Amino acid sequence: PGCADVMSDGGLINYIMATNCLLEDARAVAWVAMVIWFLLLVWLLGDTADRHFCPSLDVIVRALRVNANLAGVTFLSLGNGAPDVFSAVAAFASGQGEVGISALLGASVFIPTVVVGAVALVSDARTDRRPFLRDVIFQLITTAYLFAVYADNRVTLAEALGFVGLYIVFVLTVVIGRSVYQSRKRQRLLAEAARAKT
C-alpha cells in the first residue's frame, strides 16, 4: 500500500507506515526493530503475568480452596483467554472476521507449541501423561469443530452454543477425571497398606 493509504491506521502504532514509509530505504533496520519490539512486548506480557496475574490467581485459589486442575481450566483459562475474546469480538464487529479467526487459531497453535516448548527447554518440569493427552484431544476436537462451523462462513446460535457446550464438557471431564483418579489412588494406597499389615 502507498503511504497515503496507511497514514490513518487508527492504532497506537502504525507498523505498516513505519516499515513502508518512514524506514523505506532501510528495510533491514525496520525488520530488526520490529523483531526487537515484538520480543520486548512478549517479555513485558510475561513479566506482567508473573508479577500480577499469577499471584492474584494463587490468592483466589487458596481463598476458594480450589484444586490446581480446576483453577487451570477456569480462572487461568478465562484470564489468559480474555484478551483473545476481546480482540476476536473487535475483529468481527469491524467486519474483519478472518483476522479474528486467524488470531484465535494462531494463539491455539502458539501456546502448545512455542510456549510449551520454551518451558520444556528452560525448566525440568514434568507433565502427567493423562492430563496432557486429555488437553490435546480436546484441542483437536475444538479446532475441528471450528473448521466445521466456519466452513459455511456464518455462525448460527446453535453452533456458538456448541462452543460453550464443548467448554463445559471439558471442565466436567477435568473435574470428574480428577475425582476418579484420586479415588483410585486412595483405593490403591489402602490396598497397599492392607497388604503391608498382613
Count of Cβ atoms closer than 10 Å to residue 17 Cβ: 19
**Which residue in 83, 177, 102, 103 sits closest to 138, CA to CA?**
177
Measured in whole angstroms, how far is the alpha carbon of residue 20 from the centre of its chain? 32
Could you tell me the CA-to-CA distances from 39 to 26, 33, 45 in Å, in that order? 20, 10, 10
Query: What is the dihedral angle through the alpha carbons of 4, 7, 10, 13, rounded to the nearest 10 degrees?
Result: 150
Report how far residue 11's alpha carbon sits from residue 38's, in angstroms, rounded to the nearest whole number.
16
Q: What is the pLDDT of residue 169?
A: 94
Count of Cβ atoms closer than 10 Å to residue 170 Cβ: 19
Q: What is the pLDDT of residue 79?
A: 77
Question: For the chain, what percentages of helix, strand and coil (3-state, to nearest 5) are there?
Answer: 80, 0, 20
pLDDT by residue, tens only, the chain of 198 residues: 455 555 555 556 777 776 777 666 777 887 888 889 889 988 888 788 788 887 888 888 888 888 777 888 888 787 777 778 888 888 878 777 777 788 888 888 888 888 888 888 888 877 788 888 888 899 899 989 988 988 887 888 999 899 999 999 999 998 888 888 888 888 888 888 888 877
pTM of the model: 0.70
- Residue 91 in contact with residue 103, Cβ under 8 Å? yes
Distance, first Cα to last Cα, the chain: 82
Q: What is the pLDDT of residue 195?
A: 82
- Residue 70 in contact with residue 57, Cβ under 8 Å? no
Q: What is the pLDDT of residue 101?
A: 80
Report how far residue 102's alpha carbon sits from residue 152's, in angstroms, rounded to the nearest whole number.
16
Report how far residue 194's alpha carbon sits from residue 196's, in angstroms, rounded to the nearest whole number.
5
* φ, ψ for residue 54, nearest 5 deg: -65, -45
Q: What is the amino acid identity at position 156?
A: T
Tens digit of each residue's pLDDT (9 = 90 or more) over 70-120: 888 888 787 777 778 888 888 878 777 777 788 888 888 888 888 888 888
Report how far residue 137's alpha carbon sits from residue 172's, in angstroms, rounded to the nearest whole number.
15
Q: What is the pLDDT of residue 10?
A: 56
